[in-house]
Amino acid sequence: MAAIEHRRIRAGRCDWHVAVAGNGPPLLLVHGWPEFWAVWEKQIERLADRFSLYVPDLPGFGETPDPNGGRPSDSLGADALADEIAALLAALGLSRVGLVTHDVGGSVAQSLGLRRPELLTKIFLFNCPMPFIGQRWRDASHIPEIWYQTFNQQPWAAEVIGSSAANCRLYIGAMLRHWAYRPDAFSEADIDRWVEAYMRPGNLQGGFNWYRAAAPARLAAMAGTIALPPKIKVPAYSFWGRYDPVLKSAWSELLPEAFETVEVSLSEAGHFPHWEVPDETAARIAGFFEH
């Protein structure tokens, strides 16, 4: 395993935890939910010989405390998180980076690509939400897959799930196993690490706050009333999990609506290609940013 340095960096509203490894052109790896920095360990191991890797915990995830103090809040949506990431890059002394993102991170990438494109060389996305999904969110066959997005917004959700490590394990473990293509993609030891991360004070609510912040845009998309953004000009590549039950691979066909230049391919994975098929993922990332 590549040597990893764990840094504390104050930037914007946040006291960031950032894992740093490797040498070479800088890549920023931004996770989704339910994740934290360690979901990128397999990529750190495979890419640290070619890139300088900066792997933060988003605010309220992992070891970056929730700036809202673990209280329900809708203040950290995609644009706000993008501003926090921009402040983090400045604090790290990075003027321009390649961006690798998944899930929540994909929403942040789109905001950065539209509002701060000068910070990015290219964008590599895994499975990601986007405004163009629109009313597909509420297709009858998809409704059973998105119940958690409403649950996570409830003011008591974090108290219920965090009332014991067993409850947290049941909930987070169910997400990891259901969303992965193979139910054994996350071992018992892996789930132990996830539970430890999410049982940190404020972390369940910090992650759930994403759903509170994202809800208005998601509901507008479902209603067909969302204002669609212009195309992002930063070159992009998407390696989407073919078997993802919640961010369906069929939606990857919408990426050309979001990006001026984008290549799309499918992986033999579910929601977590970076974890489930790490060798192929690392090869795709390296190939995209080295050419």
**What string of DSSP letters covers 210-245?**
HHHHHHHHHHHHHHT-PPPPPPB-S-EEEEEETT-S
Ordered domains of the chain (ranges, CATH) = 5-289 (3.40.50.1820)
The answer to whether the predicted template modeling score (pTM) of the entire model surpasses 0.85 is yes
Q: Cα(27)–Cα(36) distance, rounded to whole angstroms? A: 17
Alpha-carbon distance of 123 to 112, in angstroms, equals: 10
Encode 161-199: b = buried (16+ Cβ within 10 Å), e = exposed.
bbeeeeebbebbbebbeebbbeeebbeeebbeebbebbb
pLDDT tens string, the chain, 291 residues long: the values are 789 999 999 999 999 999 999 999 999 999 999 999 999 999 999 999 999 999 999 999 999 999 999 999 999 999 999 999 999 999 999 999 999 999 999 999 999 999 999 999 999 999 999 999 999 999 999 999 999 999 999 999 999 999 999 999 999 999 999 999 998 999 999 999 999 999 999 999 999 999 999 999 999 999 999 999 999 999 999 999 999 999 999 999 999 999 999 999 999 999 999 999 999 999 999 999 999
DSSP single-letter state for residue 64: B
Q: Could you give the 3-state DSSP secondary structure of residue 14?
A: strand
Q: What is the pLDDT of residue 205?
A: 97
Q: How far apart are the two ends of the chain, measured CA to CA in Å?
A: 26
- How far CA 63 is from CA of 17, 31, 70, 270, in Å, comes to 6, 13, 13, 26
Report DSSP state, residue 182: S
Predicted pLDDT of residue 100 = 99
How many Å apart are CA 272 and CA 289, to the nearest integer? 20
Angle CA 163–169–172, to nearest 5: 105
- Packing angle between helix 104-115 and helix 78-92, nearest 10 degrees? 70
CA distance 108 to 59: 13
* Element spanning 281, H or E: helix 278-289
Catalytic residues: 103, 211, 271
